[in-house]
Structure 1
Amino acid sequence: MFSKPIPGRTTAAARGDVVVLLIGMRINHFWGVHHWLPVFLAMPRMLRELSKDPSRGLLGHTLLSGSPRTYYVVQYWESKEKLYAYAKAPDMFHRKAWARLNRAEKKSRQHVGLWHESYVVPEGGYENIYADMPPYGLGKALGVLPIEQRGRSAKERFAHRSRA
């Protein structure tokens, strides 16, 4: 299941704007397992749901841990409109999970914290480099190119513009 490293230096094959969602949870009280475990298990279920239907707009994701208490996902989306549509779709699990959490809000929120940050990063506002890495992050979501196609320096990669 592990990807092999790509020798040398590559950069993400991103074109245009990039939509990034950071979303996570913090376990405030470990003993409240029955409050935070459903939240913890909801994200993998949503990611599986989205991976089965690429038309929903999720391009890729990376699961991360900030500490034994904090877990989050970096997600890359086709557009903010597709991100909004998924969040509000009555037939998708996110809506059901959010409704369940809100019903139990007073008790659950004491045990688990939630957060998200969304960004639309315009072309020219991002750059990246992967050295002897398997596809990762934005490069995994959108594919990679040899570094020479975008520029050897960060300044050159920031200045790159896709051609229409």
Structure 2
Amino acid sequence: MSRPGQDFKPLVAPQSERPRSRFFGPAAFESLLRDQASLSTWLCVGALVQGALILLVGRIALLPAAALILYRALDSYAMSVGWKRNTYMDGVLMKKFSAQIPDELGNYGNKPADTDVVVFLIGTRSNHPYGMLAPGFEQSGKYFSSLAQSLEDHAEEFGFLGMTSWLNSADRSSKSEIMQVCYFRNMEGLHAFAHSEDHRQAWDWWNRTVKQNPHLSIWHETYHVPKGHWENIYVNSHLSGITSLTSRFTDKETGQDMWASGVVDASKGLLKTSAGRMSRSKADDHDKYGEDPY
């Protein structure tokens, strides 16, 4: 735990190689593909395929689908009653935790939100009946992927800390808006990236083709948050959002470059309340509500 006056306690060990941003997660393409059609469309596609197989090989064609459904039902039941490991809990940190940005020596200090942070949201959507198969969408996706890789390759130059990817599930049932949440150390780094050669090429392509592809939407929002004006809290959660970021530091004993997670214990001390996490109270503002479970 972290008491007032003590440095915050990290919960994730530093790594000798920079982890890739969560943007590059393994399920990205599958999620995008599944989002290209509504549930009713996918059900109809499945029905047509199943019907065609029955015509070709008879009722035996039902066996693969029935076996898969049975397996998944039994697998879910086994996890729910504890007969096997719950794989959905893999990577969950069973703690109340917060993210603080460590300094160049990997120290977390004892003052919450003690540095500026820049949050950059960027999104796109295909407003075309063909979704990701629409003209221009593939090329824009390739440019964005190359820019994400450029950020990874030049993270220190641009002050890039990491990025996560999200689908807007509320607006419509398919071809949803895609949003990336990017974190930078400062505005200078973000502007350096915006005027880099890689970004300039993508920018020029968009300006040349925007009139040909009116169905493609892009947007961004930028928030420069001064120190003491941001906070975060996670409980029994995967590392996501700001808690998925890493920062390079120099190991003072070996001189080796290492990458530190910002995840620290928030069960006690200044980080246990919102006001405390923004250095605006001694984190005693919740004491009147009684003991918390952490």
Counterpart pick for 1:52 among 149, 153, 162? 153
Distance 1:70 1:88 in 2: 25
**What is the TM-score when the length of structure 1 is the normalising length?**
0.86
Counterpart pick for 2:272 among 152, 158, 161? 152
Say whether residues 1:8 and 2:70 are aligned partners.
no
Give the number of equivalent residue pairs.
158
Superposition CA RMSD, Å? 2.1
Say whether residues 1:64 and 2:171 are aligned partners.
no
Match of 2:64 in 1: none
**Are the aligned partners of 1:62 and 1:73 in contact in 2 as well (CA < 8 Å)?**
yes
1:149 shift after superposition: 5.0
Distance 1:146 1:135 in 2: 13
Distance 1:47 1:80 in 2: 17
Kindly indicate whether structure 1 or structure 2 has the higher relative contact order, using CA contacts under 8 Å at least 6 residues apart. 1
Amino acid at match of 2:146: R
Counterpart pick for 2:117 among 18, 23, 37? 18
Determine what percentage of the aligned residue pairs are the same residue.
Answer: 29
**What is the TM-score when the length of structure 2 is the normalising length?**
0.50
Distance 1:88 1:136 in 2: 28
Give the 3-state SS of the residue equivalent to 1:34 in structure 2: coil
Over 3 Å counting, the alpha-carbon distance change for 1:160 and 1:51 in structure 2 is farther
Distance 2:270 2:191 in 1: 31
Distance 2:142 2:278 in 1: 37
**Are the aligned partners of 1:11 and 1:150 in contact in 2 as well (CA < 8 Å)?**
no
Per-residue Cα deviation, 1:77-129 (whole angstroms, up to 9, x for no partner): 01111111111112x2x211110111112112x11011000010112221111
More strand by share: 1
**Are the aligned partners of 2:98 and 2:271 in contact in 1 as well (CA < 8 Å)?**
no
Give the 3-state SS of the residue equivalent to 1:61 in structure 2: strand
Match of 2:204 in 1: 99
